[in-house]
Amino acid sequence: MGWRQTSFGACTVGLALTCLGAIPSCDSPNDTLVDGGPPPAPSASASDATTPPPAPNDRDARAEDTSAPPSSLARPPPNVGAPTASTTKHAFALRVLFLGDTNRASVASPDAWKSLGYDLDGLASSATSSEHCALRDGADPRVRLDGAMGIDNAFGAHVLRVIAALAPALSRTTNEVLAAGRGNTLVEVTGLDLDPSQTASGLSARSFDATARTTRPAWNGSDDLSVLPTSLVDGATLASGAKGTFREAYVNQGVVVAKAGSLRVRLPIGGGTLALDIRNATISFRKPKTGFDTAEGTLAGTLDVDELLGHLRDEAGRFSTTLCEGTRYDDLAESVRRAADMLRDGTNRELATCDAISIGLGFVATELRPLANVANDPAPPADPCQ
C-alpha cells in the first residue's frame, strides 16, 4: 500500500510567517499518494485509551468557557494498580512517527493534529480564551485553539507548517530514516510482564537516542540498537543512567504510561537533523495482545522555545543555505516564537507570556533486544554557513 504524504507546495522559507497563520493564506495540505513509505499503523481498538476520538470539523466551534471536567479532556488512563512484581526490562524503538499532517492511517489531513497528543493544561481553549498565557506579539489568536478534548498541540497545528517550508516531504523522509534504523528514539520500561492486560504501578521508564545502524533493522523483536553516549549521564556507560527519565510509570489494562519525563525526537531536514527535546513529557502505548513486538501510542509534552530555536540555529545551514544570510532565519525563528501556547513548566496561566510550544505525536514502536551497547553516530557534515 502507498503512504500518503502532505504537500506544502506553496509554503517557502520566505513565507514562514504566512505559514504560521499570522497571515492565514498558506495553502492547505494536499492529499498526495507517495509510494515507498512505511505501512499505516495498526488500527487502535475502540477501548484504546491512548488514542482520543476524532476532532470536530469546525475548529472554532468551542464554548468560551475554557474550563472542562477532567473526564472530558484527553488524558492517559490513571495509575490504579498494585506495585509490579516484574523486574524485566523491555526496550522499544520508535520506528514510525505521526507528526500532525497525517492521521494514524497515514492519510493526510489538515486536522490530523487535533487527535494527536493529550490535554496538558486542564483547559479546552478556543481562539478567544482569556484564561491563557499571553501570546507573542503578532501571533495568530488561533494559536490558543486546542484539538479534540482539549488536546494541546501547537507544534502540529502551526510549527509543522513552518518546518515544512524547509522539508516539504518531512513526514515521509522522517519515517524512511526511522525505518532504516537511523535516528530512532528508544524507550526502556522496567516492570512489564507477559499479561497483555497487566495493571500495575511502580514501573520505571527512561529514554535514549539510538545511533544510526549500518544495516536496516528487521523490526521483528530481534534487533540490537546502540545508544548514543550523549544521552547518558556520564556520556559513556549505560550503568550511569539515562538523561531522559520519567518520574512516574505504570500500566493500566495493558496501556503503558510514563509521565513527567523528557525525551528527544530527531527530524531529518536537508543535510541536518532538528532535535525536538520534549519536556514535561507523557508517553503511552498499548501492549499488543501477542507479546511485546509492536506497540502504537501517543507522545505529548512541551518544547522550550529558546531551546528549540537553539537547535534550529545550530543546524540552519545544513537545512538550507538560504538561511545563512539575510533575514530568512530571523523570519523563520519569529514564526516559531509566535506558535508558543504554553509555559515552560507545562502549565498555562494568565498574565505570563507563553514561552513553550505544546506538541503531540503518534507513533508505532517495536521491541528490541535488551539495550547493551553504546556507540557514536558519524560526524555531521560541515556547516555550509561557516
> Is 39 a domain residue?
no
pLDDT confidence tier of residue 59, bands split at 50, 70 and 90: very low
Phi-psi region for residue 346, left (φ > 0), alpha (ψ -120 to 50) or beta?
Answer: left
Each residue's pLDDT tens digit, 244-272:
999 999 999 999 999 999 999 999 887 88
Q: Per mean pLDDT, which of 11-15, 30-34, 51-55, 102-106 is the most reliable?
A: 102-106
d(CA 48, CA 361): 16
With 70 as the cut, is the pLDDT of residue 227 above it?
Answer: yes
| Torsion sign, CA atoms 163, 169, 175, 179 | negative
Q: Which of 310, 303, 324, 319 is nearest to 156 (CA)?
A: 303
Backbone angles phi, psi at 229, to 5 degrees: -60, -25
Of 262-266, 321-325, 343-347, 348-352, least confident by mean pLDDT is 321-325
pLDDT confidence tier of residue 129, bands split at 50, 70 and 90: confident
Q: Which domain holds residue 122?
A: 3-31+79-367
Q: What is the pLDDT of residue 70?
A: 57
Q: How many domains does the chain have?
A: 1
The residues, any chain, with a CB within 8 Å of residue 24's CB and separated by 6 or more, are 18, 140, 142
Q: Which of 183, 239, 245 is nearest to 209 (CA)?
A: 183
pLDDT confidence tier of residue 164, bands split at 50, 70 and 90: confident
pLDDT confidence tier of residue 14, bands split at 50, 70 and 90: very low
- Cell numbers linked to 135: 501570546
Q: What is the pLDDT of residue 311?
A: 92
d(CA 373, CA 232): 12
Q: What is the pLDDT of residue 354?
A: 96
Q: What percentage of residues in the chain have a pLDDT greater than 70? A: 80
> Is 379 a domain residue?
no
> Is 335 a domain residue?
yes
Q: Which is more confidently placed, 382 or 17?
A: 382
> Is 46 a domain residue?
no
d(CA 301, CA 283): 9
Each residue's pLDDT tens digit, 358-367:
999 999 999 9
Residue 4 CB neighbours (<10 A): 23
Average pLDDT for 193-204: 94
Residue 63 CB neighbours (<10 A): 10
Mean pLDDT (the chain) is 82
> Is 48 a domain residue?
no
Q: What is the pLDDT of residue 289?
A: 67
pLDDT confidence tier of residue 21, bands split at 50, 70 and 90: very low
Cα 132 to chain centroid, rounded = 23
The residues, any chain, with a CB within 8 Å of residue 236's CB and separated by 6 or more, are 229, 374
> Is 52 a domain residue?
no
Q: Which is more confidently placed, 61 or 188?
A: 188
> Is 182 a domain residue?
yes
> Is 26 a domain residue?
yes
- Cell numbers linked to 179: 525505518
